[in-house]
Amino acid sequence: MKGQTDIVEFDLDRIVNRVDTDSAKWNRYGPDVLCLSGAEMEFAPSEPIIRALRERLVHRMLGYNREPLELREVVVARLQTLYGWRVSPDALVFLPSVVVSMNMACHAVARPGSDVLVQTPVYGPILRAPGNAELTCNAVPLTRSHPGRYEIDLDALESAITGRTRLFILCNPHNPVARVFERRELEQMAAVCLRHGVVICADEIYSDWVFDGKQHVPIASLSPEIGQQAITLFGTSKSHNIPGLKAAVAVVENPELRQQLLQASAGLVPDVNALEYVALLEAYRRGQPWQDVVRRYLEANRDFMVECVRAYLPEITLIKPEGTPIAWLDCRQAGIRCKPFEFFLQKARVALNDGESYGEEGRGFVRLAFGCPRSILTDALERMAVALRAMHQS
């Protein structure tokens, strides 16, 4: 297998050695393991972000920080430009992370004993958020159509709603199945929630990583009625590869719902810190050129990976990701007798995410993060192919 790219503007092919740098990702396993687990990418953030952080540190004082005066204007303008979505600056809430925010939503909207809908397989923290608030997680599986594309079972979604259902946590673009839900699908899900008075909490952290000319549609932007019943979460940790700076943006157009969210955090959730504010503002002001180049690189990585899996790992099924820098690999027909995650870690020395951590529907799957230099992706796929051939020959 040969991997090559013609994108050199930001030196995305450069490998940064992150072992012994307190990296949670690269110090979890041995030094001989290639880590394609976790959606943290292997590209240096854009220079404007690094420069702004450096300038803030040169100032030396790290006191209590208010939000930058222009931040609300920048975010509002961005939503208008990208989606034609007009929101009031007052509708924005800046929070320490998307995961914290969805947990806050559970506490804000529901009381212990209530139900929360999620669509599985889905990102682990979404599965765990209801339980953290003493709520019941009601998992509605996504369905797989031929040739394996994940779809929404609207009848199952509506049937799962009971008198105790208060919240629906939507993941779009979806992690881990890499679907970008279409406007029609979003309208149908929103209609179900409106009929039953269920609040929508939309995790849209991957909204900037959409491929093939597709358009991300924030579900709250579909109509004023839906906007009044939704909490939309996004940020720059994934889209600008600064996951250690977790600051998130919540759009909550309903004043009562917004106040509920803020009350749920009172005395428990810290404010966004000084450096997170700096990074958030600079990412949205000056980070678009970097983001455009990285998106093209990710799309090329995705196409390369799909071709390699089909050619060299034919026992594994991979649906072409529509968005996100992650791939959902179906290993159930590969003849692997243990968990696929364990097999590739032990036999290929490649670390992937265990599919079972995304719900029961993830059994027999692994999640692969392809936000890395092409050479790392190539090496990992070659190792996986060699391990599978050796297994079949033994």
Distance CA 307, CA 309 (A): 6
The tens place of each residue's pLDDT in the chain, 394 residues long, gives 554 444 445 789 999 888 878 888 998 998 899 999 987 999 999 999 999 999 999 998 888 888 999 999 999 999 999 999 999 999 999 999 999 999 999 999 999 999 999 999 999 999 999 999 999 999 999 999 866 789 999 999 999 999 999 999 999 999 999 999 999 999 999 999 999 999 999 999 999 999 999 999 999 999 999 999 999 999 999 999 999 999 999 999 999 999 999 999 899 999 999 999 999 999 999 999 999 999 999 999 999 999 999 999 999 999 999 999 999 999 999 999 999 999 999 999 999 999 999 999 999 999 999 999 999 999 999 999 999 999 999 8
CB-based burial label for 230 (10 Å; 0-12, 13-18, 19+): buried
Indicate yes or no: pTM above 0.85. Answer: yes
Q: DSSP assignment of 217-267, as one string? A: --GGGS-HHHHTTEEEEEESTTTTT-TTS--EEEE--SHHHHHHHHHHHTT
In this prediction, residue 39 carries a pLDDT of 78
Domain layout of the chain by residue ranges: 34-45+289-393, 51-287
In this prediction, residue 7 carries a pLDDT of 43
Q: Pick one of 3.40.1010.10, 3.40.640.10, 2.60.40.10, 1.10.357.10 as the CATH number of 51-287.
A: 3.40.640.10
Q: Copy the structure tokens of residue 380.
A: 């990992």
In this prediction, residue 1 carries a pLDDT of 58
In this prediction, residue 296 carries a pLDDT of 96
CB-based burial label for 247 (10 Å; 0-12, 13-18, 19+): buried
* CA atoms within 13 A of residue 77's CA, in its CB half-sphere: 8
The amino acid that residue 317 corresponds to is T
Distance CA 82, CA 105 (A): 25
Q: How far is CA 141 from CA 94, 106, 194, in A?
A: 31, 20, 21
Superfamily designation of domain 34-45+289-393: Aspartate Aminotransferase, domain 1 (3.90.1150.10)
CB 96 within 8 A of CB 248: yes
Partners of 203 in beta bridges? 171, 233
Distance CA 277, CA 325 (A): 25
